[in-house]
Amino acid sequence: MKATVKALVDGGKATPGPPIGPALGPLGVNVGQIVAKINEKTTAFAGMKVPVKIIIDKKTKQFDIEVGSPPVSALIRKELGLEKGAKTAGKEVVGNLTFAQAVEFAKLKLGAMMAKGLKAAVKEVLGTCVSMGVTVDGKDAREVQREMDEGKHDEELR
């Protein structure tokens, strides 16, 4: 019999307190050991909220940790050093991402996205840029999406 606990933790800074501790306590597992493993697996996402899934075998008390990746908006905020996106996206620009960075984020998130392929995933990242008030290579992200439709960025998507 397995138990699954899902939580959103700060990358590399999970604690035995809520939300993890109270969920794991009744299962009789070593919470400190699990928290240490979560922190080890999420250090690359320091400063971001990261979804984790803890799968515990109730008999043996063995556990496995699956780390999701943060939302695209969190990746963009971290990359650009932003506290949050624009208050009025479309009117306000809070930062600029390179097309190469957008492609990197798309590759990182590809497995978790509904996108069918890298090109569609990059378009999703660009859509997030639009809603956050972030330009791409100094242009409105919608313009970059149109360029992609015209095949201008095909070389970078290989």
Q: Which of 25, 50, 67 is the last residue of a domain?
A: 67
pLDDT digits (tens, 9 = 90+) for 16-38: 998 898 988 888 899 999 999 99
Burial track 64-86 (b if 16+ CB lie within 10 A, e otherwise): ebebbbbbbbbbbbebeebeebb
Quote the pLDDT of residue 156: 85
Quote the pLDDT of residue 148: 93
Q: Which of 35, 67, 99 is the last residue of a domain?
A: 67
Measured CA to CA in angstroms, residue 127 lies from 49, 114, 134, 157 at distances of: 21, 14, 10, 17
- Domain CATH code at residue 147: 1.10.10.250
pLDDT digits (tens, 9 = 90+) for 49-100: 889 999 999 899 999 999 888 889 888 998 999 888 888 877 899 999 999 9
Range of the domain at 103: 72-157
Please check whether residues 58 and 124 belong to one and the same domain: no
CA 128 to chain centre: 12
Nearest by Cα to 53 from 5, 96, 86: 5
Q: Which of 36, 67, 98 is the last residue of a domain?
A: 67
Please check whether residues 141 and 79 belong to one and the same domain: yes
Please check whether residues 12 and 78 belong to one and the same domain: no
Q: How many domains does the chain have?
A: 2
Quote the pLDDT of residue 98: 95
